[in-house]
Amino acid sequence: MLTVFAPGRINLIGEHTDYNQGYCIPLTLWLGITVSAHFIEEQQIELSSDYERTNEPCFHRFLYSENWVKQNHWTDYCIGVIAELRKYISISVGISLHFSSTLPAGSGLSSSAALEICTARAVIQLLDQNLTSIEIAKLCQKAENEFVGVNCGILDQLAIADGMSGYCTFIDTQNLSTQKTLFDIPKGFLTIINSQITRELTNSAYNIRRKECEQAVAAIQKYGFQIQSLRDANEKMISCIKEPVLYARAKHVVSENSRVLSAWAAIQQKDWNQLGKIWVESHLSLQNDYEVSCEALDFWVNTVLKLPGSLGARMTGAGFGGCIIALIDPKILNSNWNLIAAEYYEKFGIEPTRITTNA
Ligand code: GLA
């Protein structure tokens, strides 16, 4: 029996930059998904989870002799990854994978990517094979794009495959190079607040944003600028874009990339005031220019910013729900939490949850 853990992640900054070949800085969490793997006699993949386990254990079986197709179920992430992995290594022995999770699903903390990465790592280790973190991240992203049908970038998979506890990772998604630095904030100052709004809108809106970025690149190219992606664009180039929505999308990506560089410097200098300010700018840009925030996320960012001792806050992940991250004195947040949670409940009819990190 072999056990593999894959953490969830937050993105400290660099939102919607990954599919524009830009920069981002994710941080892995201590919450995540654990898989126990072992060989079985039958010629099949057997998947089960604590989540589904009632009195009768519930197994999902995928025979090697059958054609694997998407089921619109959590097992798609695992089966998609194993199908992709079979293009690299021969897999024909029976394997059982049992999953347990401490990560809230659908909250933008990358439970899907964690499921993919721990599946890949468990099968690779069980079969005594070796793949690099980048190879694993790429094949998991491919499985998610092609088997599951979600057109995500590489941020989540690379953050998790390459992450190191307590360290944040600077990713340059153009060449997939990474750097790490300790995320050395004062104890308890980083809080994740879960709006508990699951991101149903995300897929279609996400794909529309990706398209708009491609259209923005095409609009810039018409003016003779030789750019491949918004990563290569600057303010002067985007000022050529006539269509206001495309201009706003491009403005977010260009400004967010430069915020990531400033944030990386601030993190290394432990300048938490500066990081907080950059977070607020990032949130406003996601809210107004990229239009991927929502009322609940704005409620949390605005409410946290009004508290004394608050350094900054922003939405994290794809948007339209999920979580915000806040840099705030934990004593102040604690003493105000019940009141704010009640106000949130009154407005949105949802109980929020929070995770205070010790990173
Ligand atoms: C989701 C996607 C990532 C990235 C973020 C937004 O998490 O999976 O690839 O695009 O949204 O930054």
d(CA 317, ligand 1 centre) in Å: 6
- Give residue-wise pLDDT tens across range 289-332: 999 999 999 999 999 999 998 999 999 999 999 999 999 999 99
- Give, using CA atoms, the residue closest to atom 10 of ligand 1: 16
Cα separations (Å) of 327 from 2, 69, 184, 282, 310? 37, 43, 12, 14, 6
- Match 């699951």 to its residue by tokens: 198
- Give, using CA atoms, the residue closest to atom 9 of ligand 1: 153
Ligand 1 pocket member 18 (CB < 6 A): yes
Pairing mode of beta strands 23-40, 167-172: antiparallel
Catalytic residues: 156
Residue type, 260: V
DSSP string, 16-35: T-GGGT-EEEEEEEEEEEEE
Ligand 1 pocket member 318 (CB < 6 A): yes
User: How many Å apart are CA 347 and CA 248, to the nearest integer?
Assistant: 29
Bridge partners, 49 (sequence order): 99
Which atom of ligand 1 is closest in space to residue 113's alpha carbon? 8
User: Smallest Cα–Cα separation from 282: which of 270, 296, 293?
Assistant: 293
Q: Report the pLDDT value the prediction gives residue 58, as an integer from 0 to 100.
A: 84
**Spatial contact of 236 and 220, defined as CB atoms under 8 Å apart:** no
- Match 């933008």 to its residue by tokens: 108
User: How many Å apart are CA 300 and CA 288, to the nearest integer?
Assistant: 16
Ligand 1 pocket member 330 (CB < 6 A): no
User: How many Å apart are CA 155 and CA 8, to the nearest integer?
Assistant: 12
Ligand 1 pocket member 7 (CB < 6 A): no
Q: Report the pLDDT value the prediction gives residue 197, as an integer from 0 to 100.
A: 92
Ligand 1 pocket member 15 (CB < 6 A): yes
Three-class DSSP category at 6? strand
Low-confidence stretches of the chain (pLDDT < 50) are: 359
CA angle 63, 65, 69 (to 5 degrees): 65
User: How many Å apart are CA 327 and CA 1, to the nearest integer?
Assistant: 40
Q: Report the pLDDT value the prediction gives residue 201, as an integer from 0 to 100.
A: 55
User: Smallest Cα–Cα separation from 311: which of 296, 297, 328, 325?
Assistant: 328
Q: Tokens at residue 72, please?
A: 């619109």
Bridge partners, 2 (sequence order): 37
d(CA 34, ligand 1 centre) in Å: 22
Q: Report the pLDDT value the prediction gives residue 345, as an integer from 0 to 100.
A: 98
Phi first, then psi: give them for residue 277, nearest 5 degrees: -65, -40
Ligand 1 pocket member 163 (CB < 6 A): no
- Give residue-wise pLDDT tens across range 120-169: 999 999 999 999 999 999 999 999 999 999 999 999 999 999 999 999 99
Q: Which helix (H) or strand (E) holds 63?
A: strand 60-63
Pairing mode of beta strands 2-13, 44-49: unpaired
Q: What is the DSSP letter of 198?
A: -
d(CA 318, ligand 1 centre) in Å: 5
Ligand 1 pocket member 12 (CB < 6 A): no
Query: Which pTM value belongs to this model?
Result: 0.96
Residue in 9, 16, 323 to alter for ligand 1 test, most ligand atoms within 8 A of Cβ: 16
User: How many Å apart are CA 257 and CA 316, to the nearest integer?
Assistant: 15
